[in-house]
Structure 1
Amino acid sequence: MKLAAFIATTALTATTAFADGHVDRTGWPESFTVGTASQGGTYFAYGSGWANLVAEELGLTGGGEVTGGPMQNMALVHTGDAQFGMTTMGPAAESIAGTNPIAPGLQMTNACAMFPMYQTPFSVTALASSGIESIADIPDGARIGFGPAGSTSDTYFPRMMDELGVNYERRNGGWSDLGGQLQDGLLDVIAFAAGVPVPAVSQLEVQTDVNIIEFTEEEQAQIMAAFPVSEFDIAADTYTTLESDARSVSMWNFAIANCDLPASFVNAVVDVVMSDNERMVNIHRAARSTLPENWTKNAGVLPWHPGAAQWFVENAGADIPADQIHGN
């Protein structure tokens, strides 16, 4: 059953109407923040980009904020310390179930789905000089950088390495910092879970020769059987290093909103982001997947914000069950 059967709000028109003030802005904040992740990662580039776009289009003050990534963003948005954030479906499901390590036992049900972002591929990078060209080549006790503590990478990639029988020393840090450590020989491998191209990897390619390591078919199948991920190929044109598509796995990302934000505000934000994909792709190439039809990738994990659900019902033909919309 569609949202329209349950709520009646003023229909929102084109984005220009928002800027012109033709929409009821009752309850709208004067400023907003978007919880992203560490600098050098895709979340920060993508999130800061859409935050700036929304602020400009809606005549508000807003921007991206450096955070610990998807787990922390769920907590910040749930409590209202950030109006918006970005998360991955695995950490989102854990947070709603009350198993987020930031606040064990707290079911973070006040963070609502806003719009689909892109898939996060899991990929491994090493210096070409290391001789590491496959997962099997990773030496016993390798120093692996898994990203910021509590990030999607840090939550799932160590488990994946365990599943594949890799023995390692676990290191954490921001992506830019870990890229520098890899280049300086302080790390053997970086295990990235981030939208591609990952800024830190692109920067490494400019400065040195790297190997972007794909999973074998057997490794891919083994990981897909053990974790909430799907098959994914990193396109050859993503990095100058790649000569062909690289076999990977991925997890979907969604933008989230505090569920108590006004429906008209969230609807306006979603319209700015979803109505012109070219602008989003100019912010980050990962936004090629930021398309209305990908509303289905939520798959009942997160409750929908009413304002977001209304946008997808009216503009993408979404058939969102009433029990998956917050407040119903």
Structure 2
Amino acid sequence: MPRLITALAATATAFAALPAVAQDDVDRSDWPSSFTVGTASQGGTYFAYGSGWANLVAEELGLSGGAEVTGGPMQNMALVHTGDAAFGLTTMGPARESMEGTNPIAPGLQMTNACAIFPMYQTPFSVTALSSSGISSIEDIPDGARIGFGPAGSTSDTYFPQMLTDLGVDYDRRNGSWDDLGGQLQDGLIDVVAFAAGVPIPAVSQLEVQTDINIVEFTEDEQATLMENFPVSEFTIPADTYSTLSEDARSVAMWNFAIANCDLPDSFVHAVVDTVMSDNARMVNIHRAAETTTIDNWDKNTVLPWHPGAAAWFNENGAEIGDDMIHSAAQ
């Protein structure tokens, strides 16, 4: 069973710091007393980001809540759709597949009860190898290289194997948590880790403290090939993201959104979104990737219906989410 990382229950002092929306005369009678956020494996950005905002919301709204270790975006769509998790994190590619009924966790099930609640960040696809391996480009990856693609069913595991196949790489596929794969790379048990996670990735930051690594960028032609064949866009990993980088690194990326079970009370989701979106500095303190957890990125969701409570908050604050993009109880 996934391990639940539980936030401490809020104390009376937490109520004194509640945001305005929670101090109003909001009827909480239908609010849950606790909640979970489906994230991914430890050592990845989803876990760090999801744990942080789960704890923030729990403290600010006076609830018990925390992050759950999961297999990542595909599993999170399933958990949120069924209501086994109130909230989760996903990327647009897995979200589309889940809506269309091609999620490998439950083939044929259209997961239409998972709603978007706020934009998170873009997930860059990047390759990391030990400097001692001599791998400094995609072309340098030898035939049969042992490549770790993250947890089974994660965004990386779903897309990166085919991406590398399209770029002519022959490999031996491995899976595991980002922490485990980072340790295997350092111990020489695998040759490459193909990361798909918001930057800086905790496991990569830890690796570069402990050993010399290469963060491999795509060439312009490789980037163009991936953008043509997959639901990704151009992305640049800034040089100051890692001490290993001396200049910006060319990459591709996919947008991530936080999701909620569509049946959650509107006022509850509105309060959650207000807590997360009203002070971006607090989110950036949780994880630097939250620099793009801002209202102007609401339009990056072109796949999922919006939860009515979240849509209300965004439209109150300048977004233009149309009725056709908002989940209806009749759906």
Q: TM-score, normalised by structure 1?
A: 0.94
Deviation string, structure 1 residues 112-157 (Cα, Å, up to 9, x no partner): 0000000000000000000000000000000000000000000000
- State which of 245, 249, 254 in structure 2 corresponds to 1:251: 254
Deviation string, structure 1 residues 40-86 (Cα, Å, up to 9, x no partner): 00000000000000000000000000000000000000000000000
Structure 1 unaligned regions, length at least 5: 1-13
Distance 1:64 1:21 in 2: 27
Alignment partner of 1:90 is 2:68: no
RMSD: 1.1
- State which of 48, 56, 61 in structure 2 corresponds to 1:53: 56
* Counterpart mapping for 1:209-288 below 5 A: 209-288=212-291
Identity of aligned residues (%): 80
Letter in 2 for 1:104: P
Deviation string, structure 1 residues 218-243 (Cα, Å, up to 9, x no partner): 00000000000000000000000000
Letter in 2 for 1:303: P
- State which of 109, 112, 115 in structure 2 corresponds to 1:112: 115
Counterpart in 1 of 2:187? 184
Counterpart in 1 of 2:11? none
Letter in 1 for 2:174: R
**Aligned partner of residue 91 in structure 1, secondary structure:** helix
CA positional deviation for 1:19: 4.4
Counterpart in 1 of 2:319? 318
Alignment partner of 1:69 is 2:69: no
Letter in 1 for 2:116: A
Counterpart in 2 of 1:145? 148
Alignment partner of 1:201 is 2:204: yes
CA positional deviation for 1:18: 4.3
CA positional deviation for 1:320: 1.4
Distance 1:67 1:138 in 2: 30
**Aligned partner of residue 114 in structure 1, secondary structure:** strand
CA positional deviation for 1:203: 0.3
**Aligned partner of residue 313 in structure 2, secondary structure:** helix
Distance 2:57 2:258 in 1: 13
Report which structure shows greater RCO (CA 8 Å, sep ≥6).
Answer: 1
Counterpart in 2 of 1:126? 129
Q: TM-score, normalised by structure 2?
A: 0.93
**Aligned partner of residue 255 in structure 1, secondary structure:** strand
**Aligned partner of residue 271 in structure 1, secondary structure:** helix
**Aligned partner of residue 255 in structure 2, secondary structure:** strand
Deviation string, structure 1 residues 6-37 (Cα, Å, up to 9, x no partner): xxxxxxxx952344363221310000000000
Distance 1:249 1:128 in 2: 22
Counterpart in 2 of 1:41? 44
Count residues in correspondence.
313
- State which of 26, 29, 46 in structure 2 corresponds to 1:26: 29
Distance 1:17 1:194 in 2: 33
